Amino acid sequence: MEASVLIFGYNEYAVQIAKQVRSTQAVRIFVHTDEEAQRALEDGFEVERFDFSDRWHDDAQRYDAPQSVLYCALEAREENLFLTLSLRDAFTHATIIALAINHEDAHKLKMAGADKVFPVVQMTADLIVDLIEKPIVTDVLHKILYEKSDLQIAQITITKGSWLCGKRTHDLLWEGELSVIIIAIVDLELHSTFVFTAKGFNHHIDEGDILVVIGYHEQIEAFKTSIGGA
Amino acid sequence: MHQDRSAPEPLGDSLHVTVRMAYALQASERYRRFKHRIHDLLENNANPYKKALDAMMILLIFISVVILIREVKNHVADGWLFFNNYVISMIFLTEYLLRLWVHGSASACIIEQYERDLFVQRPFRLFRALGAIVREKLNYMRQPVAIVDLMAIVPFFHEMRLLRIFIIFRVFKLFRYTKSLRQLLSILSSKRFELLTLLIFASIVVFVSGVMIYIMEANNPDSRINTLYEALYWSVVTISTVGYGDFVPATNEGRAVAMVVIITGIAVLSFSTSIVVSAFTEQMDEVVRTKTIQDARALSEFYLLCGYSEIGVLVARRLRARGRKVVVIDRDEDAVRRAKEQGLIALRGDPGSLESYKALKIDFARQVLCVLCLDESDIANVSTALTLRAMHKGVRILSVLEHEANRKRLKLAGIHEVLYAQEMVGLVAGEFGGKPVAFEAIHALSSEQSEVVTDEITLDEHVARRLGSIDALHVKPFRIVLLGVYDLQGRRFHFNPPKGFALQGGHILIVMGIAHLIREFKADLHLR
């Protein structure tokens, strides 16, 4: 059983996803036209053909579903929706990410079983507005997220017995002198609710919470060690 | 055969002076600038002072009319009468003379005549030049608005009491100062042939029926119509379907004429209504377009969206939510309609054509914050960018890119920032695979719905000096997280700066917090 990234479709979005993830994970491209197959092969990917009438249960056995990520990136909206539904039926425990044009599509894809939907038009529009309205912030966050810079973003899970357990975000943000900045917390007690530290300043940190932190690589590692995080 | 032309006669002193003065005026930068300023003030709707001037003129008109009405049965203070008869009239006279002055150029007429005469080697004919000047000025004076202006000055000669009624002409001057009234006139004038034909027809019916009713009723002792004037009056009242009833035909023949006039009256009214309605329908697009252009020109600054695609819709929505103004140009009528439905200023036109921008008459340097080329075709966006570059070299342009292969072409077209959405989705996908929670956090920050946002605050020299170091920022009461300080000069980001970090002008604070608290913090920084 292999843990893989399976990308369905080979349009420009799919090409870019494949290029980004191939450095860290095994990528397999699923296409349903000869032209797409040809291009994917030329780009050096493993390619498989699929048909919308396929039953995916046999294919699902080949992969380590909980560790696999499936990208539904077909251009035709209806086909992408149908594919997402079919894949969810077969890959029950895999992470399915689908591309949507707008919010309506995004909602339907969620209903079809996608774990995460990228509303590409909305994301593009958001980025355009950020670029023209907040160019510095956008540039800084872009570097932190996507470029190989020392400044990184990381998620750290609070383990049992950590000295952070019981502390309030308030104490960490404005009273303490941490070398990293905690920007958000996912609280298990609140059903994995996402809390920004700037808003939930009185929030109690508990075991199992996930901290989203920004800092330099060494600082993040040192912080992880000091709190005994995972 | 050789034709001997006489040499130009030496110009007389007076002629010399006239021509010399004309040349001097044409060459004088100061004179031309002054004349241009006056012309701009009187005629250019975009001139900020014109609005104030128009408002003042409208106020003077109303004062004038109020005094006229009050004077009918009441005593009006001498001061007001003086103001009305002299001050207002003098202001109107000055305006009239200025308009007459800026219409055409007397010096240009003289020079043109002089050079023409010089070219054919004949003496300068001053009277011809003066004739040309008079003709040019008369062209202006013959215009209906100019005639109204002149009529409005007549009450100045207040000794001629009868002429005071001419004050009412001042009301007609309102057409000059109110755009909507001007548009109404322009719409109606587009149908002047139809309206004139109808008026002639109605006049003929009124005259013929008036004469007929006079013939039939004047000698009837039971009838109240005794004169031709009363007959014409009855005819007008009847054809207009008003029918006061003060004059009615008493004979059967007269009643027959009345029936014809009534039916004709209904037809005349229906035709006039339909002509006016069709004029409005036909001109509505132009009226709306003119209004759009005026609205765009009135904005102090805005983003120009070239192409109103799905991305354009979302970009415009977010920018408006941030209080920004957006103007849309799209060649597709449906897209323009959708933009207008969203409350945007939208104009139909090809973003890749100079004519579209010339029609919009915007000042790129002053008004346009950034042009966003959001067409779904790279070819269209390149064309738009090159057109914009031809219009203005420095305007900031951002464009979306459809195909990676065209990136270089977009850059060559002078686009500052090229956004390749597919690449961004690839980056996001890569990031999401590794750190899904972190990814969600960062992307939630840039979401429209998020209450918590990241923002940048630029410090000017004054504020930076007053604060000294980041210790003086006091972000805690505003629940703001200071992510770092960006040094614009050194192009360096100081993440989580230590205590005592010195602030300088040009430093940009990168902060995260609740949007309204960030706004309060910004205000507080400047008020401290």
Lowest-confidence pick of A75-79, B68-72, B192-196, B480-484: B68-72
Structural domain containing residue B204: 192-284
Query: Residue B4: what pLDDT?
Result: 41
User: pLDDT, tens digit, for every residue of B344-373?
Assistant: 999 999 999 998 888 888 888 889 999 999
| CATH number of the domain within which B279 lies | 1.10.287.70
Residue B431 lies in a domain: no
- Nearest CB to A127 within list B324, B419, B435: B419
For residues B224 and B356, membership in a common domain is answered with no
* DSSP character at residue B247: S
Nearest by Cα to A72 from A55, A102, A95, A43: A95
> What gap in Å lies between CA B480 and CA B517, rounded to an integer?
8
% of residues, chain B, pLDDT over 90: 34
> What gap in Å lies between CA B136 and CA B110, rounded to an integer?
12
> What gap in Å lies between CA B256 and CA B57, rounded to an integer?
52
% of residues, chain B, pLDDT over 70: 93
- Nearest CB to A69 within list B311, B433, B480: B433
What's the average model confidence in pLDDT over B21-35?
88
User: pLDDT, tens digit, for every residue of A88-110?
Assistant: 888 888 889 999 988 889 999 99
Query: Residue B14: what pLDDT?
Result: 52
Query: Residue B416: what pLDDT?
Result: 92
Domain count, chain B: 4
Query: Residue B7: what pLDDT?
Result: 37
For residues B207 and B168, membership in a common domain is answered with no
Q: Tell how strand B481-487 and strand B492-495 pair up.
A: antiparallel
Query: Residue B475: what pLDDT?
Result: 86
Query: Residue B311: what pLDDT?
Result: 92
The rounded mean pLDDT for chain A is 83
What's the average model confidence in pLDDT over B26-47?
87
Lowest-confidence pick of B254-258, B382-386, B441-445, B505-509: B441-445
> What gap in Å lies between CA B481 and CA B45, rounded to an integer?
48
Q: Using DSSP, state whether B323 is helix, strand or coil.
A: coil
The rounded mean pLDDT for chain B is 86
Question: pLDDT tier at B2 (50, 70, 90 boundaries)?
Answer: very low
Give one word for B12, left, alpha or beta, with left for phi > 0 and alpha for psi -120 to 50: beta
A4-124: which CATH architecture? Answer: 3-Layer(aba) Sandwich (3.40)
> What gap in Å lies between CA A215 and CA A172, rounded to an integer?
14
Give B342-347's long-range contacts (Cβ < 8 A, gap of 24+). B342/B313, B342/B316, B342/B317, B344/B316, B344/B320, B345/B292, B345/B295, B345/B296, B345/B299, B345/B302, B346/B292, B346/B308, B347/B289, B347/B292, B347/B293, B347/B296
Residue B351 lies in a domain: yes
Mutation choice for B interface testing from A15, A43, A69, A136 by most B CBs within 10 A: A136
Q: Using DSSP, state whether A118 is helix, strand or coil.
A: strand
A146-227: which CATH architecture? Answer: 2-Layer Sandwich (3.30)
Lowest-confidence pick of A45-59, B353-367, B427-441, B480-494: B427-441
pLDDT at A200 over 90: no
**ipTM (interface predicted TM):** 0.83
Residue B443 lies in a domain: no
For residues B27 and B123, membership in a common domain is answered with yes
**Inter-chain touch A123–B324, beta carbons under 8 Å:** no
Query: Residue B235: what pLDDT?
Result: 94
**Inter-chain touch B438–A124, beta carbons under 8 Å:** no
Chain B CB contacts of A199 below 8 Å: 451-452, 479, 514
What's the average model confidence in pLDDT over B186-195?
85
Residue B433 lies in a domain: no
More confident residue, B400 or A159: B400
Which letter, b or e, does each residue of B487-522 get, where b requires 16 or more Cβ atoms within 10 Å of its Cβ?
eeeeeebebbbeeebebeeebbbbbbbbeebbeebb
> What gap in Å lies between CA B463 and CA B504, rounded to an integer?
9
More confident residue, B284 or B407: B407
- Nearest CB to B419 within list A128, A140, A144: A128
For residues B221 and B257, membership in a common domain is answered with yes
Virtual CA dihedral for A115, A121, A123, A128, nearest 10 degrees? 180
pLDDT at A190 over 70: no
Q: How far is A13 from chain B (nearest CA, A)?
A: 5
pLDDT at B140 over 50: yes
pLDDT at B10 over 50: no
For residues B62 and B90, membership in a common domain is answered with yes
Query: Residue B302: what pLDDT?
Result: 94
- Amino acid identity of residue B419, one-letter, is L
For residues B482 and B367, membership in a common domain is answered with no
User: pLDDT, tens digit, for every residue of B377-415?
Assistant: 999 999 999 999 988 888 999 999 999 899 999 999 999
**Inter-chain touch B421–A123, beta carbons under 8 Å:** yes
- Nearest CB to B456 within list A101, A134, A186: A134
Nearest by Cα to B367 from B341, B392, B342, B398: B392
Query: Residue A193: what pLDDT?
Result: 61
Query: Residue B159: what pLDDT?
Result: 54
**Inter-chain touch A21–B430, beta carbons under 8 Å:** yes
Query: Residue B8: what pLDDT?
Result: 42
% of residues, chain A, pLDDT over 90: 25
With CA atoms as reference, the chain A residue closest to B397 would be A132
pLDDT at A82 over 90: yes
Q: How far is B298 from chain A (nearest CA, A)?
A: 22
